[in-house]
Amino acid sequence: MFNLILYEPEIPPNTGNAMRLSVNVGARLHLIEPLGFTLDDRLLRRAGLDYREWADVQVHQSLDCCLAQLAGARLFAVSTKSETAYTVPRYQPNDALLFGPETRGLPAAVLAAVPAEQRIYLPMMPDNRSLNLSNAIAIVAFEAWRQLGFAGAAR
Give the Cα separation of 118 and 131 in Å (integer).
19
Q: Which amino acid, residue 30?
A: H
Please provide the size of the chain in residues.
155
100 is in an annotated binding site: yes
H/E element holding 20?
helix 12-25
- Looking at residue 72, what DSSP letter applies? T
Residue 62 marked in a binding site: no
Q: Report how far residue 137's alpha carbon sits from residue 99's, in angstroms, rounded to the nearest whole number.
A: 7
**Would you say 75 is a known binding-site residue?**
no
In angstroms, rounded to a whole number, what is the distance separating the alpha carbons of residues 31 and 67?
Answer: 12
Distances (CA, A) of 38 to 30, 31, 33, 80, 105: 14, 11, 11, 27, 20
Which residue ranges are tagged as binding site?
78, 100, 122, 130
Which residue ranges are tagged as binding site for S-adenosyl-L-methionine?
78, 100, 122, 130
